[in-house]
A and B are shown apart, each in its own frame.
Chain A
Amino acid sequence: MSIASRRRVQLAVLLGPVSLFLAVFFLGPLAIMMVTSFLAPGLYGGVEWTFYPHNFGRILGFADPMFEDFDPVYIAIFIRSVKIAALTVLAALLVCYPAAFCIARLSERWKNFCLFLITLPFFTSLIVRLFVWVLILRQTGLVNEMLMSTGMIARPLDLIYTDGAIILGMVYVFIPFMFMPVYASVEKLDWTLVRASLDLGAGPIRTFWRIILPLTAPGIIGGAIIVFIPALGNFVVPAVLGGAKVMMLGNLIEQQFLAARNWPFGSALAMLVMSVMLVLLLVYVFASSRRGADAALNR
């Protein structure tokens, strides 16, 4: 056997299991969902096997004239979900970026301890942690009680069941995902470059924009993507902290599958969300592979 063909066999053996797993448990369901999104909803749940593009139409504006109306509420939910996910990304970044600099400067021992603390939430249940936030934020919760007892407010504030509460909960849930890539790039930052910039006459602010930010950008972009994607589809946090008032894409999809039993419409929504993310990811991969090609050229 030639080396090349032996390589190929080796690769096949090594990649076999994961490929099989992905094919069965990822691509399979995905294909089912894709097909479902083009089928008509059954009268009592289930699907009818006819081609039916109006699931997408309901969202995008060409609804089935017989049964359903085009309802701009779905686009509105989509836009507000994107907004909340984007704000989550921004808030998480504002928390993680400075923290990464602080932790990167600690001694090895404290560093590891801090990283351990950041991963600690993974050891407990997400639902439990979110319900603790309910206890903190509700009308008779910790914050309101404290503010009232100090006399700063007369009536409890509406803290829970707001967009703010959702963003707070999401940031809380996704902080580790933002922190890790951001920290990795901050930790790698070569401080002699910062010194070189100061030495050449650039003040701290200019040095930040021209040197520190561009050099840590890969971590920021990576963290933003890793947080944005699950935040856009998340339904647990809005369900717990958003109450019935605030609907996000995740809840909408969940509702279509579990409550309304309109699988085709749920699938169509899911497909749309996924395609948006796919476009985002492709843009990122494209941009970074161009950078990669640059780097390869530079050898």
Chain B
Amino acid sequence: MQDSIVRLEGASKAFATPEGGSVTALDAIDLQVRRNEFLTLLGPSGCGKTTLLQAISGFVELDGGRILIDGEDMTDRPPYRRPVNTVFQNYALFPHMTVGENTAYALEVAGVAKAKRREQVAAALKMVGLEGMEGRRPRQLSGGQQQRVALARAIIARPKLLLLDEPLSALDKNLRQAMQIELKTLQHELGISFIFVTHDQQEALTMSDRVAVLSGGRIQQLDTPRAIYDHPVNSFVATFIGASNLFDGRIDGDRLMAGDGTAIHHRRNQSTASGAATALIRPEQFFLAGEGEPFPTLDVDLEAIVFVGSTFELFGRTSAGKKVIAEIPAGRRGLIGEIERTRRARLAYDPAAVHLIHPCAEA
């Protein structure tokens, strides 16, 4: 038994544009999804997330490359012969069927006997918290309930893989968070691999076992949420996930000398290479320097101080004019009063927390 349920090998797809050119939606993508894994595809609009899902479900024909599901080559199989089901963004529930009929559809198609079907429908609806709703019509349900029916319908035949294309984007924030947790739990219970598409980086970080960051039809980085956040391989990933302060410059011993003259200290053994690099400091890694601060510091002129509940966000510029964002825990109000008055702050950081991005890793 292989440990990957899905394998993409050099999957490529280009679409012709009406103007006569072409857009590369998938650029020779290699991807392996593990068994029982919650994998998230994250990336800006138009980066190829939907195309990638549709290539797996069979609605997009690849220009090149292969797709294997559970070791079997699926590249030329039509969608209805692939052991993959999809939860569509707009739910795509059949309006002329009841919730029960919708949920039973995959079983009906597979020729499961009626009594058995009813049993399984009841179990699937129970799983998504819609017990006894078999007789309702999709239009009689709220958005969240429709979402759950779509989910029940997609999992009832136990596909080897479930694809979810921005399934939560139409829900309000509270419901969305509740569904995030439920989805994750469901995935665990079922033991099915999920490929989940989202625009929302928070969602990606909280739900996933691994995140694939896509841009321009390529996977920029595929790793655990923490690794992606703490050690982005390039500045695209660094800026796309979370807020970031990036300093481009050259490495000079244990310092990185930015083009504008700012020096950023880093933990020396982190890097063996020298030459051009980019230093990343996350906003929450800054703190306000005290008297005789042992850590390296950065002086900024503040442009805005924004209270966001648990933290203050400081927006400032260095003397060289570089924008800096810092997040200070709201517990330290005394200090905030001081900097609010002076509109200047001395930000300190731990060199060990500085992450260096080397240009060779840039896509």
Given contacts A195-B59, A214-B96, contact A200 B109 (CB under 8 A): yes
Residues of A within 8 A of B92 (CB): 190, 192-193, 195-196
Given contacts A196-B86, A201-B157, contact A211 B94 (CB under 8 A): yes
Q: Which residues from 134 to 156 on chain B have a C-beta closer than 8 Å to any C-beta of chain A?
A: 137, 139-140, 153-154
Distance to closest chain A CB from B291 (angstroms): 63
Residues of A within 8 A of B94 (CB): 193, 196-197, 211
- Is A200 in contact with B157, judged by CB distance below 8 angstroms? yes
Residues of B within 8 A of A214 (CB): 96
A15 to B140, CA, bound (A): 35
Given contacts A192-B92, A214-B96, contact A202 B80 (CB under 8 A): yes
Per-residue contact bits, chain A 172-214, to B (CB 8 Å; 1 contact, 0 not): 0000000000000000001011011111111110110011001
- Is A192 in contact with B106, judged by CB distance below 8 angstroms? no
Q: Which residues from 76 to 100 on chain B have a C-beta closer than 8 Å to any C-beta of chain A?
A: 78-81, 84-86, 88, 90, 92-96
Given contacts A196-B86, A215-B96, A297-B140, contact A206 B109 (CB under 8 A): yes
- Is B95 in contact with A215, judged by CB distance below 8 angstroms? yes
Count chain B residues whose beta carbon lies closer than 8 angstroms to a beta carbon of A.
Answer: 27
Residue of B nearest to A107 (CB): B18
- A298 interfacial contact with B, CB 8 Å: yes
- Is B96 in contact with A199, judged by CB distance below 8 angstroms? no
> Size band of the A side of the interface?
20 to 34
Per-residue contact bits, chain A 26-44, to B (CB 8 Å; 1 contact, 0 not): 0000000000000000000
- Is B105 in contact with A200, judged by CB distance below 8 angstroms? yes
- B1 interfacial contact with A, CB 8 Å: no
User: How many residue pairs at the A-B interface have CB separations less than 8 Å?
Assistant: 65
Distance to closest chain B CB from A231 (angstroms): 29
A200 to B96, CA, bound (A): 16
Residue of A nearest to B81 (CB): A201
Distance to closest chain A CB from B141 (angstroms): 9
Distance to closest chain B CB from A190 (angstroms): 7
Residues of B within 8 A of A215 (CB): 95-96
Of A192, A207, A298, which contacts B139 at CB under 8 A?
A298
Residue of B nearest to A201 (CB): B109
- Is B137 in contact with A201, judged by CB distance below 8 angstroms? no
Residues of A within 8 A of B96 (CB): 214-215
- A295 interfacial contact with B, CB 8 Å: yes
A235 to B16, CA, bound (A): 53
A203 to B79, CA, bound (A): 9
List A residues at the B interface (Cβ < 8 Å): 190, 192-193, 195-204, 206-207, 210-211, 214-215, 294-295, 297-299
9 additional contacts (CB under 8 A) given A195-B92, A202-B105, A297-B140: A192-B92, A195-B59, A195-B79, A196-B92, A197-B105, A198-B80, A203-B78, A298-B137, A299-B139
8 A-B pairs in the complex with CB atoms less than 8 angstroms apart = A192-B88, A196-B86, A197-B105, A201-B109, A201-B110, A207-B80, A215-B96, A298-B139
